Amino acid sequence: MAILKLEDGTKLRELQDIAPELVSLNIQLNHWNVGDNPQIQRLLKQDSLNEDEKEQLLQALDNYFEQLQQTAGYQSRDLIVLHPGIPNLDGMLAKFDQIHTHADDEVRYIIDGEAIFGFVRPDGSQVELTVQPEEYINVPAGTEHWFYLTPAKRVKAVRYFISTEGWVPQYTGREIRDRQTVA
């Protein structure tokens, strides 16, 4: 389950408590079942995946992609697999751990591992949301946010795109006031 950490240190662990805290940002957070197919479960347990294995996972989960194509116009998807064995992982992630926006929605379906999205709310307060397996998040275009991995540094996430060009980070220069891993 997702965990939302408010600036005062309060941690919310139930979707019905988290959703009202994110409503001002129009963030969508849902639970999507990965399923219990043994082949999918085997691939999820592997640290790294080759391109064929990634495509197998994507195809197994394409019912969600088809829904997004029909309802929101998404055109493509890929699978990002991050783990500590990736050379220069920290350097690769550094461009997203500063407050930024995108011209397009940032959409993720976490299928294994976890990651943290931080947000600047309209009142200027900041919150951090740990997104865990089987959770889908849609961060609307223009939302000030940042992204980093938990200490395990492992995540497998399906990314959905209307256009990959709209996904380039635009840095706002705002400082992150209190970053710490939600546990």
Amino acid in position 32: W
Query: Dihedrals φ, ψ of 19, to 5°?
Result: -50, -45
The per-residue pLDDT for 178 is: 78
Q: State the average pLDDT over residues 148-169.
A: 90
CA nearest neighbour of 120 among 144, 136, 101 = 144
Give dist(CA 18, CA 16) in Å, integer.
Answer: 6
Structure tokens given for 74:
């998404």
To the nearest whole number, what is the mean pLDDT of the chain? 93
Amino acid in position 18: I
Is 164's pLDDT higher than 90? no
The per-residue pLDDT for 95 is: 87
DSSP 8-state symbol, 137: E
CATH of domain 3-164: 2.60.120.10
The per-residue pLDDT for 135 is: 97
Q: What is the pLDDT of residues 84-110, one digit of tens each?
A: 999 999 999 998 999 999 999 999 999
Contacts of 52 (CB under 8 A, 6+ apart): none
User: Where along the chain do its domains lie?
Assistant: 3-164
Q: What is the pLDDT of residues 114-141, one digit of tens each?
A: 999 999 999 999 999 999 999 999 999 9
Structure tokens given for 76:
């493509």
Query: Dihedrals φ, ψ of 93, to 5°?
Result: -80, -15
